[in-house]
Amino acid sequence: MSIGSLSPITHVAVRFNDRVFSLPKPNRHHHVLWKIIAETGVTSVDVRDDDQGFLDETGQYLDRRKALARARSTGQVKDEREIRMGMLFSEDVW
């Protein structure tokens, strides 16, 4: 359910080698890293903080900071007291 015109977060996502890999809730970012390894054949995935994020229901990529703002706007944050470092983690929404 979205509030106003904002789309809720639906997927965890990782940008790697100019591609966005994602999995729907309730997956975690480490599941996406495993997917990248399985699909690309790399042995490890090294990504920056802004390359770990989320997709909304329209497929728009949001880094962890933008995703936190979106999750707050759409009422998806489970417990505000658990938010850390001003970033959204999958545990914060599902």
Considering the entire predicted model, what is its pTM?
0.91
| Domain regions of the chain by residue span | 9-73
- Secondary structure of 6-38 in HEC code, one letter for each residue: CCCEEEEEEEECCEEEEEECCCCHHHHHHHHHH
For 6-59, the pLDDT digits (tens) are 999 999 999 999 999 999 999 999 999 999 999 999 999 999 888 999 999 999
Residues 6 or more apart in contact with residue 67 via CB below 8 angstroms: 9, 53, 54, 87, 88
Asked if residue 82 lies in contact with residue 20, where contact means CB atoms within 8 angstroms, the answer is no
For 54-69, the pLDDT digits (tens) are 999 999 999 999 999 9
